[in-house]
Chains A and B, each alone.
Chain A
Amino acid sequence: MLKSILKRLGIVILVLVGATALVFFMLHYIPGETPDVIARYIFIGNIEIEPSNEAVALISQYYDLDRPLVVQYFSWLGEALQGNLGMSYKTGQPVLDEIVIRLPATIKLAVVSILVSLIIGIPLGIVAAIKQNSILDYICSTGAVIGVSIPNFWLALLLIMVFSLYLDLTPVMGSGGIEHMILPSITLGTGMAAVTARLTRSSMLEVIRQDYVRTARGKGLPEITVVVRHAMKNALIPVITIIGLEMGHLLGGTVIVETIFAWPGIGKLLIDAISQRDIPVIQGCVVFITIMYVFVNLIVDLSYSIFDPRIRYER
């Protein structure tokens, strides 16, 4: 077990190095003259005005941009491993501080959204499976396809329109109490709930045909006991994977949802940094998002062996 965890951790670290390199080269290589871009966006604040050559040279020297890109990347990586992600071009603050302040908000939103999706998705999936090919199943399945197809930013606008503007029940945006969480978490949870419902249904359909379920029924147990105690417990194991698989969508979704609802998380920070071309901040946000993504998937993989003793990572 320990050996497999260590092996997985090694792969995770390699992937992290690869992903940060990918983003680093994308950000630094494609725009051409990075110091020129920084001068226009950050210091002049107007992309139309051409910066003077001295200014460009000064910026290039100050931010160490005059060295070869590979050298720049490894010096960034070396600093990053010691917990220094550089300074924001815009504010001059350490990037790590800016991210750490915003991280809890994003994690809170993500966790609540996952809960919302499980609370909606699992019961719907189970009901659809038990009543297979009934009207109820049909409605759940169609609802799930619609849930996957609905753009989350549009859903957010619809929710704001109905619950904030028309019914005046929830605040339009911002953060604070529980009431601020409702709309963003429903927005993010809906798409995931649809996927959860589909997976629960198909996994439940498989389990329900197993011999031990038939045995339980044969013993004369009430249907509810059979479903909850015997079938559901086993059917929900694959559903854990959803949390890992959907983490990517979730983190992508937080970027949009945080922007719409002015939620002070890491997604909003990333969007602001992109529009200001604040490269160290973009880089830092991506590092954190990748770490969250990769580690959640690692935990999900490992938790599998706890929930399902048949799977052990011994190899």
Chain B
Amino acid sequence: MTLRFKQNKLPGKRSIYLLKHKSVAIGSTLIVMLAFLAIFAPYLTPYDPIEVDLYNNIQSPSWEHPFGTDNLGRDVLTRVIYATRIDILASIFIVGISMIIGISIGIVSGYYGGVIDKVLVGMMDTFLALPEIILALVLVGALGPGLFNVTLALSLLGWVKYARVSRGLALSIKEKEFIEAMKAVGVNDFYLLTRHIAPNTISPLLTLAALHLGHAILSLAALGFLGLGAQPPMPEWGAMLNEGRIFLRGGWWLSIFPGLMIMITVLAFNFIGDGLRDALDPRMKEVVIK
């Protein structure tokens, strides 16, 4: 059994309470819709996202092609829908890996303290001394372009915020009686860290994770836009904008729709993140052991 702190008292079931929060509700609705697009992509459109159809290139939006077609005659709506899969999955991957690395480093640093803490905090400061996108660029420059490398680079760089927050949490959790009690009965550190300290850091990190999801999509698309991310013909929003950029004058739809999708997705995650922050405001926090 894992002991958990109750972060704050929310009336009724927490999830239902959160959905009543307006911005969380709007954000969640948008995400559900995007997830629907991603999951049912092949059933939603009759076209193929990659197959070239040169007879129909650069057509403005019409009934057959609501978002028009690109320079290779591919339906832009289809590509935008398929790209939802890639962008959202990649960003979930980035946030997941970042969280795992961040929590591991953070709780080890906070729990052990001393020299280990000093070294790990120094490492966090070093990573924070460089803008994330610059580090990502360098790492991608070293690994070479490609969707996988970009995702990997962003996964390896996103951990610092989680580490800082979970370090602080670990510092306070380790002083609690139940941890003292477990140490007294000889529970080993690994078990204590993974089963009792790590789970208690997750819920305060959710706000961070929601905002990070939006941020990850922006970085992913930015690198895609610079030609370093997903390579053609793979449909990815940033890469699509990069391909469409040459046709700004004659094909506005190539640049409008993928960007609009990025904005909607990021907006949805930011709405959820902001709402969560309001609802789980640390100033309202009341630490109660269930």
Contacts and interface: CB of A to CB of B under 8 A. Distances in A.
A150 B126 contact: no
A293 B131 contact: yes
Contacts of B228: 274
B141 interface: yes
A255 interface: yes
B245 interface: yes
B241 A154 contact: yes
B134 A286 contact: yes
B139 interface: yes
Interface residues of A, number: 48
A148 B55 CA distance: 40
A290 B263 contact: no
Interface string B132-144: 1111011111111
Nearest to A47: B144
B259 A289 contact: no
A271 B137 contact: yes
Contacts of A16: 129
Most buried by B among A29, A145, A154: A154
B145 to A, nearest CB: 8
A249 B256 CA distance: 23
B226 A146 contact: no
B194 to A, nearest CB: 28
Interface string B200-240: 00000000000000100010011001111000000000100
A249 B267 CA distance: 18
Interface stretch (B70-78, B90-98, B99-107, B247-255): B247-255
B14 to A, nearest CB: 23
A126 B124 CA distance: 35
Contacts of B225: 151, 153, 256
Nearest to B267: A149
Contacts of B252: 161
Given A248-B132, A286-B134, A154 B262 contact: yes
A157 B260 CA distance: 12
A106 to B, nearest CB: 13
B133 A252 contact: yes
Contact of B248 (A149, A165, A274): A165
Interface residues of B, number: 44
A114 to B, nearest CB: 15
A118 B263 CA distance: 23
Contacts of A273: 141
A16 B126 CA distance: 8
B226 A271 contact: yes
A44 interface: no
Interface in A138-189: 145-146, 148-154, 157-158, 160-161, 165
A222 B129 CA distance: 45
B137 A157 contact: no
A41 to B, nearest CB: 11
- Looking at chain B's contact residues, the main secondary structure is helix
Contacts of A289: 130-131, 134
Contacts of A148: 270
A76 to B, nearest CB: 15
Interface string B1-12: 000000000000
Given A149-B214, A255-B134, A289-B134, A26 B139 contact: yes
Contacts of B126: 15, 18-19, 22
Contacts of A18: 122-123, 125-126, 129
Nearest to B126: A18
B129 A290 contact: yes
A26 B139 CA distance: 6
A49 interface: no
Interface of A: 11, 14-16, 18-19, 22-23, 26-27, 29-31, 145-146, 148-154, 157-158, 160-161, 165, 247-249, 251-252, 255-256, 259-260, 270-271, 273-275, 277, 282, 286, 289-290, 293-294
Interface of B: 122-123, 125-127, 129-135, 137-144, 214, 218, 221-222, 225-228, 238, 241, 245, 248-249, 252, 255-256, 259, 262-263, 266-267, 270-271, 274
28 contacts: A26-B142, A30-B139, A145-B271, A146-B263, A149-B214, A152-B222, A154-B259, A154-B263, A157-B241, A157-B245, A157-B255, A158-B259, A161-B252, A161-B255, A165-B248, A248-B130, A251-B134, A255-B137, A255-B226, A271-B226, A273-B141, A274-B228, A277-B141, A282-B141, A286-B130, A289-B130, A289-B131, A293-B129
The 10 closest A-B pairs by CB, nearest first: A154-B259, A252-B133, A18-B126, A248-B131, A274-B141, A149-B266, A149-B267, A30-B142, A252-B131, A15-B129
